[in-house]
Amino acid sequence: MNDSKVRATDLNLLVTLAAILETQNVSRAAEDLGLSQPAVSHALNRLRETFDDALLVRSGHAMVPTPQAEELRPQVREVLATIEKLLVADEDFVPEETRRTFVIATNGFSAQLLIPSLVRELHARAPMANLRIVPTGHRDLRELLIDGQVDVCLISGRMDHLPESLMMRAIFDDPFVSTVGETHAFGEKVSLDDFANAPHILVSPRGDHLGVLDSMLAQRGLRRRVALVLPDFMTVPAVLRETDYVITTPVSIARLFGDQQGLKQFTPPDGLGMDAGALIALWHERVQNDPINRWFRRLVFEVGEQMSLG
């Protein structure tokens, strides 16, 4: 395929060509297209240059197609039909009939709160659809979304720390909270230095040794001691009850600890910037108006809005 020629050609000309070949009359083609006759005549001249052929020639009082135009006629119809199918297929999207697999990529555990309700609602409205949850890993979020393999990213964090080039919306507020064992010396108010010097737990499925809290501390010239790195939160409550360790997570994660007996929570020190957080949905601008993606986003938003962190 000659990509340079395709890029240099206004594909709207094919619509004009189809009308001209159908009517074999510039005036009638203009009327059918809702354009002026000079505009269609100009388009015909451009088409003649593109195909290096007269396309229509005068024969008495009529205009007749050239042999090449006759050959083009069914091809142009087929191309336009294909384009129309591509453009209107999503408009015919019927949730009850789709077998599509929707894919969510997430960077953490907050999205887990959505999953049970999201699965329930997806099954109720699109019973043959599937859902796949994948990690973002270390991949660039824009690259993750641009190829269409992921429909929506769900990210725990702050919107001002995310790429402005992506579409985004906060699903629910999810500020950070610190959790320790109930006998821990920390009370409701903790100084920034004491907080940084405490032994911390970091939960990272990828085994990272740095998290968002480390970035916030580094901006203030501080560094914490990550005393324990875990792949998940299953053992966190037990560790907190047996040690003087501290973990800082979104409120939604703290709720995943289940039984809060033997634990206490406090707000991270003032000035750390951890008082603002949210579960955020991101998607690529190319699917902003895509009916299928828009339907799925609305479903995610609706489920999120039903959640209350109290």
**Residue 230 belongs to domain with CATH number:** 3.40.190.10
91: DSSP letter: G
The reply to whether 125 falls in a domain is yes
Which residue type does 97 have?
A: E
Query: Of the candidates 88, 119, 145, which is a domain's last residue?
Result: 88
74 and 144 assigned to the same domain? no
Distances (CA, A) of 183 to 190, 254, 260, 262: 15, 18, 13, 8
pLDDT digits (tens, 9 = 90+) for 13-32: 888 888 888 888 888 888 87
CB of 187 closer than 8 Å to CB of 264:
no
246: DSSP letter: B
Beta bridge partners of 230: 203
Query: Of the candidates 42, 59, 88, which is a domain's last residue?
Result: 88
62 and 74 assigned to the same domain? yes
137 and 198 assigned to the same domain? no
Residue that wins the pLDDT comparison between 211 and 181 = 181
210 and 227 assigned to the same domain? yes
Mean pLDDT of 193-200: 92
The reply to whether 237 falls in a domain is yes
165 and 196 assigned to the same domain? no
Mean pLDDT of 281-291: 85
Q: Judge residue 265's burial from the number of C-beta atoms within 10 Å of its C-beta, 0-12 exposed, 13-18 middle, 19 or more buried.
A: middle
288 and 168 assigned to the same domain? yes
The reply to whether 130 falls in a domain is yes
**What gap in Å lies between CA 110 and CA 279, rounded to an integer?**
7
**What gap in Å lies between CA 184 and CA 192, rounded to an integer?**
16
Q: Which range marks the domain in which residue 244 is found?
A: 176-266
Concatenate the DSSP letters of all residues of 133-180 into one string.
EEE-TTS-HHHHHHTSS-SEEEEEE-GGGS-TTSEEEEEEE--EEEEE
Confidence of residue 239 (pLDDT cuts 50, 70, 90): very high
Confidence of residue 203 (pLDDT cuts 50, 70, 90): confident
155 and 290 assigned to the same domain? yes
The reply to whether 95 falls in a domain is no
Q: What mean pLDDT, rounded, does the chain reach?
A: 82
pLDDT digits (tens, 9 = 90+) for 35-60: 778 888 888 888 898 888 888 888 87
pLDDT digits (tens, 9 = 90+) for 107-151: 766 677 788 899 999 999 999 999 999 887 667 777 778 777 889
68's tokens:
């090449």
127 and 255 assigned to the same domain? no
Pairing between β-strand 56-59 and β-strand 62-65 as defined by DSSP bridges: antiparallel
243's tokens:
């040690």
190 and 246 assigned to the same domain? yes
Run of H or E including 131: strand 130-135
CB of 28 closer than 8 Å to CB of 22:
no
Tokens 């108006």 found at: 289
**Residue 42 belongs to domain with CATH number:** 1.10.10.10
285 and 143 assigned to the same domain? yes
The reply to whether 273 falls in a domain is no
The reply to whether 245 falls in a domain is yes
253 and 139 assigned to the same domain? no
In the three-class reduction of DSSP (H, G, I as helix; E, B as strand; rest coil), residue 281 is classed as: strand
Length of the chain: 310
The pTM assigned to this predicted structure is 0.60
The reply to whether 96 falls in a domain is no
The reply to whether 110 falls in a domain is yes
Distances (CA, A) of 298 to 102, 109, 135, 277, 290: 13, 21, 22, 21, 12
Run of H or E including 255: helix 251-255
Query: Other CB atoms closer than 10 Å to residue 93's CB: what's the count?
Result: 16
259 and 181 assigned to the same domain? yes
Number of domains the chain contains: 3
